Structure 1
Amino acid sequence: MWMITGIVATASFIALIEVPPLLKAKLKRELWLFSVLLVLGTGLSIAKSLQFPIPNPLDLLFIIFKPFSDLLFSFLK
């Protein structure tokens, strides 16, 4: 519980520092992207602190390129 509170407090502190300059400069696209990435990072951090299994992004690349690799190696045999 304390871990989640710390993560949310840190994310709030980061938003408190970063959002006002973005609003002042009227950078809507950057503010939207910052918000999405901050929420995504906060959510993943909370999931990791609760010990949920988070898949490795490289596993997706392995799944995509494994058939091409097998095909290439079959030609080289």
Structure 2
Amino acid sequence: MWSVLGVLFVAIVILIIEVPSLWKAKMKKELWIFSFLLLCSTVLGIAKGLQMDIPNPLDWLAVIFEPLGYILQGLLK
């Protein structure tokens, strides 16, 4: 519970620090990207704080490229 509150607190502090400067400079695209990335990292931080199982993106790449490795290995023998 405390880890979730800590992640939310840090996310709010980052918002308070960064958003006004982006808004003042009229960087709308950068503000959207910043908001999206902050939202993704906050959700992942909360999930980690709740001890949820977060899949590793490298495992997805291994699933995709493993059959290709077997094909290449068969061709090179």
Q: TM-score per shorter chain, which class?
A: over 0.9
- C-alpha RMSD of matched pairs (Å): 0.7
- Residues of 2 paired with 1:60 and 1:14: CA distance? 31
**Number of the residue aligned with 2:53:** 53
Task: In structure 2, list runs of 5 or more residues that go unmatched.
Answer: none
**Which ranges in structure 1 are unaligned for 5 or more consecutive residues?**
none
Cross-structure match for 1:62:
62
**In structure 1, what is the Cα distance between the partners aligned to 2:25 and 2:36?**
19
Partners of 1:47 and 1:31 lie apart in 2 by 24
Task: Give 4+ residue runs of structure 1 displaced > 3 Å after superposition.
Answer: none
Question: Number of aligned pairs?
Answer: 77
Compute the TM-score of the two structures, normalised by the length of structure 1. 0.96
Percent identity (aligned): 53
Q: Give the TM-score, by structure 2 length.
A: 0.96
